[in-house]
Structure 1
Amino acid sequence: MAVTADAVTANWGVWGAIPAAVQPWTYLTKVAEAGGSPFLLPPMHEAVEDLMAGADALLITGGADIDPARYGAERDPRTFPPDELRDATDLAALAVAERRGIPVLGICRGLQVIAVSRGGTLHQHLPAHAPTVPGRHTLRDITVAPDSVLGRVLGGSTTGQCHHHQGVAEAGEGLRATAWAREDGVIEAVEDPGARFLVGFQPHAEEGGAEITGLFKAFVDAAW
């Protein structure tokens, strides 16, 4: 199962400030605990086709803000500088996954990538949703459509761990909004009802307990 990764500068043993492809360990462990075998998909656009040839599912992880130009908007001053290579890689990997009909799960930024890929748009800054403390998740109550993949997994409501300041404004072609923030109705999930499994979920399910990480089990099971 391909798991999208970031390119960052990292300290590595005695080596300092070297380029590395990384992703928080929790994404990988949640896939493995659900019965999948994860591998990192580095932000290398030219390698996407070859790497995705060996994937039976795609997990699009959290990360930087998407370039607003990709959904036809001017960059808001509060939108962080885009990672153009990550944007290109994630969108290319998603296109391959959809072409092959394999399961896709998008978490946080991953939800936004899915929406943008279908012509959807984003709110570039949602003050009420921005992290209270950078690096710490905020608990948010979420209403879930019962007649959805998420509804079958999570029931009619859940509490998600969120760390984002942007959100989906328009879901995009063929996508259905299936979860909303209880306090203000901001979209927290989208799905493609016609796909084998294509779900985008704004909260960081990889950081949640068993009541929410069942989403990973549904994702992995869909690959078999």
Structure 2
Amino acid sequence: MGAPVIGVTSYVEQSSTGIWHDTEAVWLPDAYIAPVRRAGAVIAVLPEQDPALAADALARVDALYLTGGYDVDPAAYGADAHLRSDAPRAGRDAWEIALVREAHALGMPILGVCRGAQVLNVARGGTLHQHVPDVVGHDDYQKGDAIFRELGVSVLPDTLLASLHPLERDVPMYHHQAIDRLGDGLVVSARSVHGLVEAVEDPDQAFCLALQWHPEHDEPSAVWDAFVAAARVRVAR
């Protein structure tokens, strides 16, 4: 059996490196994909493009991995923008929402991290809290300057996540938005110490899990191996 191919979403932003200055580039911190690579998968980066091509893109991969990034445009879930919401990346939003819906229709394994959890929820008809400090009264979840804060989460028993992660643990956080109303078919699989939704999953899918925290900056987790194993099952089929 060949290695599964994981389709991974990415940024398209102005960047600078080497001789290239202020150049539009497809990029993604390696921390996002290193755990998937170590679990034995091949990585295929899926930068934003025409949403009508989502089915063609997913026909060539075995699982979908939704990575982090800027805020989902509130217009995608029928809300006005908060003053602290990022400038919209409408192209990325439309592309990734199309990927989620196509992957769901195919029963393809899906893993979301940070923004990826929010995209999954919005694609399934859910909404977001646009600024977590408005909900919890402090900014502990995103201190700024890419400084991750360790905060406690409680994983709900009898969930997929509970079979892959300790039920009580401090995890690295960096988000100022969070899931509000759940999308269709999703259930909560973890909450923070302040009651925020920190993980969701779809129990009717073979593997559909999204974490609001950053497991790529945490200790090695069984989540990565389970995700790649689900993709291997799809290869075998």
TM-score interval, normalised by the smaller of the two chains: over 0.9
Q: Per-residue deviation at 1:63?
A: 0.6
The aligned residue for residue 221 of structure 1 is 229
Could you list the per-position Cα deviations for residues 135-186 of structure 1 after superposition, in whole angstroms to 9, with x for gaps in the alignment? Answer: 111111000012111100003122211111000111111110010002x110
- SS at 1:142's partner residue? strand
Other-structure match for 1:168: 179
What pairs up with 1:57-206 in 2 under 5 angstroms? 57-127=63-133, 128=138, 129-182=140-193, 184-206=194-216
Structure 1 residue runs of 5 or longer lacking an equivalent are: none
**C-alpha root-mean-square deviation of aligned residues, in Å?**
1.3
Q: 1:209 aligns with which of 213, 219, 226?
A: 219
Give the ranges of 4+ consecutive aligned residues of structure 1 lying more than 2 Å apart after TM superposition: 45-51
User: CA–CA distance in 2 between the matches of 1:97 and 1:154?
Assistant: 24
Which of the residues 27, 30, 41 maps onto 2:32? 27
Counterpart CA distance in 2 for 1:51 and 1:172 is: 24
Whether the 8 Å CA contact 1:45–1:92 is kept in 2: the answer is no
Q: AA paired with 1:223?
A: A
SS in 2 for 1:217: helix
In the alignment, is the contact (CA less than 8 A) between 1:146 and 1:155 conserved in 2?
no
**Offset, 1:202:** 0.4
Q: Residues of 1 paired with 2:169 and 2:49: CA distance?
A: 35
What's the % identity of the aligned pairs? 36
Distance in structure 2 (CA, Å) of the matches to 1:174 and 1:102? 15
Kindly provide the CA deviation profile for residues 57-94 of structure 1, in whole angstroms up to 9, marking residues without a partner as x: 01000111111111111111111111101101111111
| Counterpart residue number, 2:22 | 17
Contact 1:71 1:120 in 2 (8 A): yes
Structure 2 Cα separation of the partners of residues 141 and 193 of structure 1: 24
| Equivalent-residue separation in structure 2 for 1:153 and 1:222 (angstroms) | 13
User: Under a length normalisation based on structure 2, what TM-score does the superposition of the two structures give?
Assistant: 0.89
Stretches of structure 2 that go unaligned for 5 or more consecutive residues are 1-5, 233-237
Structure 1 residue 130 displacement after superposition: 4.0
Q: Does 1:6 align with 2:16?
A: no
Mapped partners of 1:185, 1:48: distance in 2? 34
Distance 2:66 2:189 in 1: 18
The CA distance in 2 between the partners of 1:144 and 1:186, in whole Å, is: 12
- Structure 2 residue matching 1:155: 3-state secondary structure: coil
